[in-house]
Copies of this chain bind each other. A is one copy, B any other.
Amino acid sequence: MKWWGWGEEDVSFTHEDKPELAPFIQRAIDLDVSSATSSRVAFDDLDIAEPSLSSDLRAALDGILDGEWISTNPLDRVRHARGKSLRDLVRQRSGDLGRLPDVVVRPGGEADVRAILQAALEHDAVLIPFGGGTSISGSLEAPMSERRSTISMDLGRLDRVLEVDETSRLARVQAGAFGPHLEEQLNAKGWTLGHFPDSFTHSTLGGWIATRSSGMQSDRYGDVAELTRGLRVVTPSGLLVTRPVPSTSTGPSVREMVLGSEGRLGIITEATVHVRRIPASRVILGYLFPNWAESLAAMRDIAASEASPAVTRVSDAPETAFSFATRKTPTVLDRIKSKALQTYLGRRDIDPDEMCLSFIGYEGSERHVATQKKLVGRIVSRHGGLCIGSSPGELYDQKKFDTPYIRDYLLDRGVLGDVSETAAPWSLLPALYANVVAAAHAAFAELGVNGYLMCHLSHSYHAGACLYFTFAVKPSGGRAPLEEYDVVKSAIQQAFVDSGATLSHHHAVGTEHSSWLEQDISAPGVAMVKALFDGIDPGANLNPGKIV
């Protein structure tokens, strides 16, 4: 993982194989992608503070782990200091490193985790768990004012699928397992977890649980909260073990207290999760809808129907335009389809600027997939939609994990791009969407910046859906870029809670969203979360400052 950006060192996003993208970006935010460049600080020029680690604590850690698993290496510390929020990337690139952890430890198993947590408490140190480091909510950074020794615990060595209970369709998996390695181990036995967040390649099971992650196919497989049944968590009160039962009536759910806890209650070491057989058939079809209102209505009707698609996703018109602009050189097939599309558009008197691109995915037996497609097809038609076949969906499916690289591409050109997502009941979605669009554009105007905002519905439920907004701001040059970013990000988040939606559907609270928590879950809700954290971690040694 890059210390200053997303993903692998040798992977990056480019406009060069996408003929329509450069002109699109020029139109959207008045950016010349070929000329604009922004420098970043070289690693060797970073000012890296010496670690502040008492000799007692160091001795305690040495008593637990071999030296190779206790690191004060500067690059290691820099990599573990933060996640990958836009704010994190901007600061890292400029050499503003914040409060680095003093040491990075890599436990080899649960016993190590217990001993390290015990040592942290005994020596009044701060302990912050680290999975893949992909948090975009500020869940991983120690407060700047933190004077106690700070330990980043990298769970990367706990990466195994320990057992698959084929009868129960449950797998015991260590919390540090990264998405691809986890799926590899399950796939080898014919199973899948089915959890594919955008961060999949670089995030871990423990991280998903600690932030209530949701994946592209969660409509079928469930959010990580549903997938996770049993938990093992090292807490200050000892090893918490919840049973992997399908449902239970044991008072307030302890399982649901750990979900989303961002390290505030302890270190998740293992989870027992649902697994499913790899489906015989898997299809993602593309659809076009005449406008956003019909798109939302169609998704709403699909959610109430007897169809159960694995993916329901639809982009608004600005995101549809962006998607079309990222196409590579058109193929013959594309041209033929484009003709059919022209006919469709002409016949239906549809405004191409209002058109919305949708992907709906189906999984299961051939027969089941065929039935589902028919059921959905009827609903799509009722809302004036058109199926455009499987190739757009396949392309999307192949490229979905590359999206986060775009932020670095934009930052290289001085542009701030980020995401904010939320969920709300179906009836509130149209006003929510309108309010967010208005708030973002008002912020762009107030700042005098060129900005772009686009949105897709990413998950459907019985009673509502997740709306996922992406925005880009070309700073005015008048104020610090992050200040301008904050104005836009805050306007969007405030529009969420003002519109009856939640501060985040699956990106967690961290520090980025904590100022909206009370407006979302009300003051007594915050009091309940605080009571829990304060009771379990009275010394605030566990990832302090996050959530509340």
Contact = CB atoms under 8 A, between A and B. Distances in A.
A527 B522 contact: no
A142 interface: no
A298 interface: no
Interface stretch (A44-52, A199-207, A250-258, A311-319): A250-258
Given A169-B426, A502-B245, A531-B531, A235 B536 contact: no
Nearest to A168: B425
Contact of A259 (B167, B169, B253, B532): B253
Interface stretch (A260-268, A341-349, A448-456): A260-268
B517 A250 contact: yes
A239 B522 contact: yes
A251 to B, nearest CB: 4
- The size bracket of the interface on A is 35 or more
Q: How many copies does the complex hold?
A: 2
A467 to B, nearest CB: 11
Contacts of A507: 249
B241 A522 contact: yes
Contacts of A242: 521-522, 525
A32 interface: no
A407 interface: no
Interface stretch (A57-65, A351-359, A397-405, A458-466): A458-466
A443 interface: no
A245 B464 contact: yes
Interface string A83-97: 000000000000000
B248 A423 contact: yes
Given A250-B502, A306-B365, A532-B532, A427 B165 contact: yes
Contacts of A225: 247, 253
Given A245-B425, A245-B464, A304-B169, A530 B535 contact: yes
A534 B532 contact: no
A85 to B, nearest CB: 14
- Output the residue of A235, A253, A465 with the most chain B CB within 10 A: A253
Contacts of A364: 306
Contacts of A501: 243, 245
Contacts of A502: 243, 245, 248-250
Contacts of A534: 531, 535
A500 interface: yes
A257 B249 contact: no
A425 B522 contact: no
B509 A169 contact: no
A2 to B, nearest CB: 25
Contacts of A332: none
A260 B256 contact: no
A153 interface: no
A105 to B, nearest CB: 22
Contact of A466 (B247, B304, B371): B247
A508 interface: yes
A503 to B, nearest CB: 6
Contacts of A282: none
A74 to B, nearest CB: 32
B249 A505 contact: yes
Contact of A254 (B466, B500, B525): B525
A195 interface: no
Contacts of A241: 521-522, 525
Interface of A: 165, 167-170, 211-214, 223, 225, 229, 233, 235, 237-254, 256-262, 264-266, 274, 276-277, 300, 304, 306, 308, 364-365, 368, 371, 423-428, 459, 461-466, 500-509, 517, 520-525, 527-532, 534-536, 547-548
Given A244-B463, A251-B529, 12 more contacts: A169-B304, A239-B524, A241-B521, A242-B525, A252-B256, A252-B257, A256-B257, A265-B528, A276-B462, A528-B532, A531-B536, A532-B535
5 contacts: A168-B426, A229-B463, A247-B423, A256-B257, A531-B534
